[in-house]
Copies of this chain bind each other. A is one copy, B any other.
Amino acid sequence: MLKRYLLAPGPTPVPPEVLLSMAMPIIHHRSPDFLPVLDSAKKGLQWLFQTKNDVLILASTGTGGMVGAVNNFFNPGEKVLVINGGKFGERWTKICQAYGLRVEEIVVEWGYSIKPALVESALKKDSEIKAVFVQATETSTGVYHDIKGLGSVIKNYPDTLFIVDAISALVAEDIRTDEWGIDVMVGGSQKGLMLPPGLAFVSVSDKAWKKSEASKMPRFYFNFKKERENLAKNQTNFTSAVTLIIGLNEAIKILQKEGLENVFKRHARLANATREAVKALGLGIYSKESPSNSVTAIEMPEGIDGQLVYKTLREKYGITGAGGQDKAKGKIYRMAHLGYADTFDVITGIAALEMVLKQLGHPIRLGTGVARAQELLME
């Protein structure tokens, strides 16, 4: 028997009450049984997104929301600025290009975060830029970008939308959609929201709705205008992903019981303990700046293959984290503290990491990282 633990940056563990809420007999999405469910979900999402904007609910993964954030607001040939600091930054570029946008990239070195000033000068220089795309948390590097700072810059450009992929950041970071001027923000179900994959969420500001009117890109499945009309009637444009939305309400209920501020504090506390434990072990944090509260990218010591660490953790200890991607492959191991995560997930993750590193021949004193985490996690 090998008990299994999921410490990956998505999907993340789903609380039992959420799993069981989705196991009730299914109800019809156009019936009065479901309308209050959707009403509650949309209000809960507004609370979580800290916005008065509509938050659309799409039956797709988060990437579907990202696609919608591109093909509802622009026309082919328009120019946009993508902040590319990792795998998901790249994804913005690819989506924009797939839809015929001219993409200008600010490439941020992996492990670093964007300086809002760079965006400011780009916008100043080039009045054609119709949008700035960024990740709140770049999952591949464990970096949190300065969304507040970017917002305060972009706010001054009335023809430029601020579009944020918050798929991995939502719930873990205090992102203030309205206060910071985020026009389009994308979330997904299988991260901080503690749900299975299959739902995307997108908030849209008035500024964005206005711009969307001129957009003529082909779209049908991710048609935000139609979704908005349906949302007003507590429906979705196509068949609602009924069970996942029921689970969404249950997950939001858990978060609301904890309180938004406490939710953010918990994530900050777990992330901090993880990072400090890693440092106590003499390992480096891959995120040189602004490490995320969702996931910690841990630099592997010389001679230790991150992929082998990932594999050994799974096979010997039942722990599924994540390795590195692309240029970070083999160099890092990523451990999440996101969603349904608490003190002993960190302890477990660090203790197991210590055991594996030792087994793989890295000279480590067992308990060193755990002790540092314990110190910081004492309540």
Contact = CB atoms under 8 A, between A and B. Distances in A.
Interface of A: 1-6, 8, 10-14, 16-17, 19-20, 22-29, 31-33, 59-64, 67, 71, 76, 94-95, 98-100, 188, 190, 196-198, 217-222, 238-244, 254, 257-258, 262-263, 266, 314, 316-318, 320, 340-345, 347-348, 351-352, 354-355, 358-359, 365-368, 370-372, 374-375, 377-379
Number of copies: 4
B340 A344 contact: no
A17 B314 CA distance: 20
A344 B355 contact: no
A1 B99 contact: no
A367 B371 contact: yes
A219 B6 CA distance: 32
Contacts of A61: 59, 238-239, 241
Nearest to A318: B342
Contacts of A358: 378
26 contacts: A1-B258, A1-B266, A2-B342, A4-B25, A6-B25, A10-B239, A11-B28, A19-B24, A59-B197, A60-B64, A63-B238, A71-B218, A98-B220, A99-B220, A196-B242, A196-B243, A197-B239, A197-B243, A344-B348, A347-B370, A351-B374, A355-B378, A358-B378, A359-B378, A365-B371, A366-B371
